Amino acid sequence: MLDVRKIRLILELRESGINDPKVLSAIEKIPREDFIPENFRNQAYENIALPIGDNQTISQPFVVAKMTQILNVNNTHKILEIGTGSGYQCSVLALLSRRVYTIERIKNLKLNAEKIFSKLKITNIVTKYADGNLGWKEQIPFDRIIFTAATSKISNHIFMHIKEGGIIVSPMIKKNKQILVKFTKLDNQIIHEEFDDVLFVPNLDNVE
């Protein structure tokens, strides 16, 4: 039986503009409480970010759903996620794609996420303990790339990871605020489109 709190969250996401039924279904299927420390689990289906340790957070469900919707994923896609974090965003993407390659530079977070993937029997996620800003050159090219921490600049090196027609979604730091940005590679040009203001922990390369 579906949790009443989860039903309420799905309705709230719909009202906020999340209209892709595949995205809503993935949010419904993935148990967010499994990615949250026990003392915060009663808030798992509130539309808020929550701490997960190591000065990191699990993003609010709206932002996870919005980024997933903007990525426009299908079940043939190979995705690179830069910043595994709790593993929640990765798990949502895994339900919608062929395979997700996810990189985390905080070892404790990577290990915790791997335990949750195993518990949930999600088998199409490949993890790596490394600096995600360097990408995953052995697996180039990717159909989609997602950053789960705010960055001031995406390197040309990362743009070279993406296929023609591919999409990158990232929170970008611009003039002391963060904006969700979609980059699309068309005819070897990068087209960008801006969406909502967001609030993410900064990418470690952007921390003074």
Tens digits of residue pLDDT in 87-96 = 999 999 999 9
Q: Which amino acid, one-letter code, is at 143?
A: D
pLDDT in tens, 130-171: 998 889 999 999 999 999 888 878 888 899 999 999 999 998
Contact status, residue 176 vs residue 196, Cβ threshold 8 Å: no
Instruction: Verify whether residue 91 is a known catalytic residue.
Output: no
Terminal Cα-to-Cα distance of the chain (whole angstroms): 47
Burial (CB count within 10 angstroms: exposed 0-12, middle 13-18, buried 19+), residue 13: buried
Please name the residue that has the structure tokens 């426009």.
72
* Predicted TM-score of the model (pTM): 0.91
DSSP 72-113: T--TT-EEEEE--TTSHHHHHHHHHSSEEEEEESSHHHHHHH
Residue 158 has phi, psi (to 5 degrees) of -70, -40
What does the alpha-carbon distance between residue 201 and residue 60 come to, in Å, rounded to a whole number?
12
Domains of the chain (ranges; CATH) run 4-206 (3.40.50.150)
pLDDT in tens, 125-138: 999 999 988 899 99
Please name the residue that has the structure tokens 């303990």.
129
The residue annotated as part of the active site, out of 25, 59, 86, 91, is 59
Q: Which amino acid, one-letter code, is at 42?
A: N
Contact status, residue 171 vs residue 150, Cβ threshold 8 Å: yes
